[in-house]
Structure 1
Amino acid sequence: MKSVLPIIVLCQFLCTSLWFAGNSVLPDLIAQLNLDQNFLGNLTSAVQLGFIAGTLVFAVFTISDNFSPSRVFLISAIFGSLFNFLVSLEGMNAIDILIFRFMTGFSLQVFIL
């Protein structure tokens, strides 16, 4: 049982890195796609709005009360990493990137369980 706490801390750290790792590559992505520099603020807002929307949806539907919190955490971590990965694919446009960053934020809300 002593190993449970370090595992939880490590999982929280790795999943929270979705927010920061995505933000660290976005300036390069903006330059590569020739987007306006103000777009970075939109991307940051998309993650925050996704986080707020996810928190609201999970609270209204009492997801963590009705399902195993560890399973909800795992599924959210998988989806968050998938959405974060999709931003890096070829052929992305500004709207696609905003949607995937929003969905990354939506998935991140579960880490407050």
Structure 2
Amino acid sequence: GLNRMSIGWDEKLEKLSEFEAVFRCCSSSLQQLQISGCPLLKSVTGGLEHLTALESLELESLPSLSEAGEGVEDDGTPWRCLHSLRSLKLRYMQNMVKLPNWMRYLTTLQILEI
């Protein structure tokens, strides 16, 4: 199955949930996900809960994404479902002024790059 996916340079993408069907199909195989250059993307939560095999997540150049705009539910869904996530990279995130609250749910995280 698909083990690496890159979503990028989409000037119309506002919600990651548009990829939810794809995430469901490759939930047990996708290990690396990179999301970059999507100026209107306000939330990355839609569909991530399906990616239980995800080991690496990279978020880069997402100017509309902010910690407050994440829409994170009180129970931390979908971040609690990322049991295999070892690496998180947050690059060129202009509106993220503090570390997101959802990071506390990433209990297997070993590498954090900001």
Whether these two folds match at TM > 0.5 is no
Q: TM-score range by the shorter chain?
A: under 0.3
Name the structure with the higher strand share. 2
Q: Of the two structures, which has the highest relative contact order with CA contacts closer than 8 Å and spacing of 6 or more?
A: 1
**Larger CA Rg, structure 1 vs 2:** 1
**Under a length normalisation based on structure 1, what TM-score does the superposition of the two structures give?**
0.20
TM-score by length of 2: 0.20
